[in-house]
Amino acid sequence: MNKLAIVTLLALAALVRPLAAEENPFLGPFKTPFDTPPFDRIQLAHYKPAMLEGMKRQQAEIDAITADPKAPTFENTIVALDMSGQLLGEVGNVFYSLLTAATSREMQDLANELAPLLAAHQDNIALNEKLFARVKAVYDRRARLKLDAVQRYLLENTYKGFVRSGALLDARQKERLREINKEHSLLALKFSDNVLAETNSSYIVLDKAEDLAGLPAGVVSEAAETAKAMGLEGKWVFTAQKTSWIPFLQYSPRRDLREKLFSCFFMRGDRDNDKDNKAVLQRLLVLREERYRLLGYRTPADYYIEPRMAGTPARVDAFLRTLWTPALARAKAERDEMQRIADSEGGGFRLQPWDWWYYAEKLRKAKYDLDDSALRPYFKLENVQQGMFALAGKLWGIRFVERKDIPVYHPDVRVAEVHDRDGSLLGILYMDFFPRDNKQGGAWSGAFRGTFYRDGKRVVPFATLVGNFTKPTPGTPSLLSLDEVSTSFHEFGHALNTLFTDSRYRSNFAPQDSVELPSQMMEHWVLEPEVLKLYARHYRTGEVIPAPLVEKIRNSALFNQGFETVEFLASCFLDMAWHNLESAQNVNVTRFEEKVMDELGLIPEILPRWKSTYFTHIHGGYEAGYYSYIWSEQLDCDAFEAFRETSLFDRRTAESFRRNILARLGTEDAMVLYKRFRGREPRIEPLLKKRGLI
């Protein structure tokens, strides 16, 4: 063990007194159904001791590997390393899941306290020379080992992981890398904390009923409930949450208020206050540039994209530009149509970003006689949830059974056990749908526990599905927009990936630009008539959504696709531009973003979906990877064609998708798996067709 590792362990020992298992639920049997996390017993004070104990145990496991007198083998080195750190992983999965879904100032402070310790612990493993020597010894003999495809993939990626983490650096470079990793971990947390704080403090308060003109009753009711929760009863509050600001921008004729609320959303992290993220972002990028120069890469983008399906930044850029030109042309045509509406009403102004949703809604009504508020009554949250379950049942024969005896971390959370066609337990699904002020915005899926095999038995996973969907109000259930319906199916696809995964090992090496395939695949069924019958029922009458309304939805499928594609691609280009910089030192964040958009030719009526100061993807796992969504969309659009070539619920196709993609993604090469399912590489034409670009 190196000197720094010893110092770190001594520091950990000094920070915490030993806790008996009965005092800390993480350090003993959970005694819950299926060993699910005992949220009713977990307290804030339990996380730190359990994390420190987890680090201590994993370090002991690493020491045992390096001290093994036997020659390095796949089992005693690669598998032993993969199986190490189980306690740390279990505690970390719970803590960091709740840090985004049910946080507090105290949790954020603890995360900042733990970040440098975890960074040092991870570096102690990644930069352990004895451990790397054993891994390399196995890797160098890989051609002579009788390994199957999954074992080879684990070995190759384990070795590459060490190299990409600095194992080949000299002592001075390793020491600098540790310093970078420590500072970077703290800044990444600060960036997210600032975004959450800015989101919670960004809202407008209305106290005159006439200011609510044009807004649907449900939107007004939700704003009144938000105001009441803030101690502003009798008023209406509209926030920077999508479920609040987008409906307001869609329906309010008050252009001044639309601009004011849009600014609340768009200026987050860019107000030159104590939560401003410009300097934080710049420092994060400077650290990344130094880190990856140390590792031999020209830019961070070269590092991040190397192990992905795309392979190089140049290939990403070429792919994005294939989409950009037709998408921008379509967006300009959409803008011109809306500008004509504004002019015909005597507006006397050029459209601005806060006008787009309002005039797009007018255009949709004019062209397709389709009103978002007319759709919501058919998309009751509970019905949408049951529709997702029914679809999964039709495709794979799985069943969802609600459990009310499994502890949850918030009263909003619902839990279901998931059974396979043969009745065996696949896993547990936690669902948390509504926004809270202690919850990050957006939607995501993760896991309180992943799956692997222990003593020959599959450890069942605990998947999560988290959203910020429209909340119920007194007398009205949660009624979703069509976008929220698609989002729920999307995150359900991620959860199915977690539930279906059948891996012998704990490590998962799915390329970042493949992980959206399972989620985006599920979105394709949302508007199919046979699927709509499963969930789209009027919340009052129970009437299935009428066929003429479904036809209107399908006819409008390409509506506003120019806007949606352009605002998304603009963020992809922005992400890549930041990570392709050879130096972010002294770069002005605002001017850099403007320069990138100007060079793209982005029209002023559209802004990037994610502004740099709240672009959490670019430091939270999607570094130089926001393009992954649309790269994966190329895969899922092509994959769904396999169902169109057979039938929407074809069991053979569904089982092949499960066996080759959902169960195996991250355990073998992603393109090999895709070709095993599809029989060939993906084609881009289905993606272009879906987005109306051909």
Per the listing, tokens 């084609």 go with: 683
User: How many residues appear in the chain?
Assistant: 694
Nearest CA among 202, 212, 263, 254 for reference residue 234 = 212
- CB-CB contact of 448 with 430 (8 Å): yes
State how far the Cα of 451 lies from the Cα of 29, in Å rounded to an integer: 18
- CB-CB contact of 573 with 320 (8 Å): yes
Give the other-Cβ count within 10 Å of 694's Cβ: 10
Catalytic, 594? Answer no
Report the run of H or E that residue 321 belongs to, with start and end: helix 313-344
Instruction: Name the phi and psi angles at 141, rounded to 5.
Output: -100, 10
3-class state of residue 667 by DSSP: coil
Residue of 361, 417, 491, 605 with catalytic role:
491
User: Which tokens in the block code for residue 663?
Assistant: 């169960």
Burial 15-30 (b: 16+ CB within 10 A, else e): eeeebeeeebbbbeeb
User: Which tokens in the block code for residue 368?
Assistant: 């397709």
Which residues touch 174 (CB under 8 Å, ≥6 apart)? 123, 127, 166
3-class state of residue 525 by DSSP: coil
How large is the angle between the packed helices 105-126 and 3-15, nearest 10 degrees?
150
DSSP 448: E
State how far the Cα of 226 lies from the Cα of 595, in Å rounded to an integer: 38
Task: Calculate the CA dihedral of residues 187, 191, 194, 195 and round it to 10 degrees.
Answer: -170
Which residues are known to be catalytic?
491
